[in-house]
């Protein structure tokens, strides 16, 4: 990844944008503050992500702006550029309330119910003018569908097992069974969707109060996958939050019977993929990964039971 100064110089040369302060939200997400106009956010993607995919992110943001959907906006008509082997997307920084006010601002905007409403609203946007790319897979893993994400995880699991000790064989069997159970939601109703629709990707702003960011990996895909991940993220904190998210979502979208029937398996998919990623790339133990997968399955069952009894 380029250094902060390399990024600052690149944006000054390409756009005439001169920031006085840089703050890293993450290794690849940088806030650039200035006094003479809107601050920007630069998202830096490594060479493993094709520039065309980043161009697709910009196309998505322009389309969302045309729909008046509360998302970050491109900072320029030409918001994608090359920096060495990396690709950079620049957006206008969403004006955020002070951190101490974030929780109350989101609560005043409806909280988890409001977040569910925003997802439901996204899933009702008309596809006739939407970007055509497939989406719903987590872009850190794959540009594509949730099923593509699971296929990548299967490859990682096979690679990790080939290097594992004999004592871990049983745990790899448990993970393979969990992967076979997980559902990429193929064949279910499709909408334009965001792969990571959770509170971590919400900026609390004065108006509108909740703005969704990080649209990499968004595109046309099964709507259930995004709902399942939101329910898992909130249900893991408190099962009562499942009711809130679902009540907001149901204001716009009523899940079909086929979606409810496959919800439990859909909920397990993303957390399992993350565990397998940690197993392959971060030294997570096979026994721990298998135990984690079992916990995800238990929680998914509890969330699904809650959804079945909703309303």
Low-confidence ranges of the chain (pLDDT < 50): none
The alpha carbons of the chain give a radius of gyration, in whole angstroms, of 20
* CA-based nearest residue to 214, from 149, 277, 139, 150: 139
- The pLDDT assigned to 311 comes to 64
Q: Measured between alpha carbons, how far is residue 29 from residues 33, 55, 175 in Å?
A: 13, 17, 32
- The pLDDT assigned to 11 comes to 95
C-alpha–C-alpha distance, residues 183 and 178, integer Å: 10
Domains of the chain: 4-92 (3.30.200.20), 99-308 (3.90.1200.10)
pTM here is 0.95
- The pLDDT assigned to 139 comes to 87
């Amino acid at each position: 990844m380029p250094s902060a100064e390399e990024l600052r110089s690149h944006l000054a040369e390409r756009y005439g944008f001169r920031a006085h302060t840089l703050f890293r939200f993450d290794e690849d997400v940088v806030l650039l503050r200035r006094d003479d106009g809107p601050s920007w956010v630069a998202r830096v993607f490594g060479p493993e992500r094709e520039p065309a995919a980043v161009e697709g992110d910009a196309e998505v943001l322009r389309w969302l702006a045309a729909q008046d959907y509360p998302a970050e906006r491109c900072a320029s008509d030409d918001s994608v550029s090359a920096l060495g082997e990396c690709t950079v997307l620049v957006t206008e920084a969403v004006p955020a309330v002070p951190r101490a006010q974030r929780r109350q601002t989101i609560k005043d905007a409806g909280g988890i119910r409001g977040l569910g409403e925003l997802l439901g609203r996204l899933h009702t946007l008309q596809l006739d003018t939407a970007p055509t790319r497939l989406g719903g897979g987590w872009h850190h893993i794959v540009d594509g569908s949730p099923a593509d994400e699971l296929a990548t995880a299967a490859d990682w699991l096979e690679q990790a097992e080939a290097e594992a000790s004999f004592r871990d064989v049983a745990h790899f069997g448990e993970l393979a069974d969990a992967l076979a159970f997980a559902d990429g939601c193929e064949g279910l109703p499709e909408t334009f969707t965001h792969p990571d629709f959770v509170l971590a990707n919400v900026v609390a702003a004065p108006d509108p109060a909740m703005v969704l960011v990080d649209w990499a990996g968004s595109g046309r895909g099964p709507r259930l996958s995004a709902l399942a991940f939101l329910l898992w993220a909130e249900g893991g904190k408190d099962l009562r939050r499942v009711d809130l998210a679902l009540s907001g979502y149901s204001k716009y979208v009523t899940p079909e019977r086929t979606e409810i029937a496959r919800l439990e398996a859909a909920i397990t998919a993303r957390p399992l993929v993350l565990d397998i990623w940690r197993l392959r790339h971060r030294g997570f133990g096979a026994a721990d990964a298998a135990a984690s997968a079992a916990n995800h399955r238990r929680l998914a069952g509890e969330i699904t039971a809650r959804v079945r009894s909703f309303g």
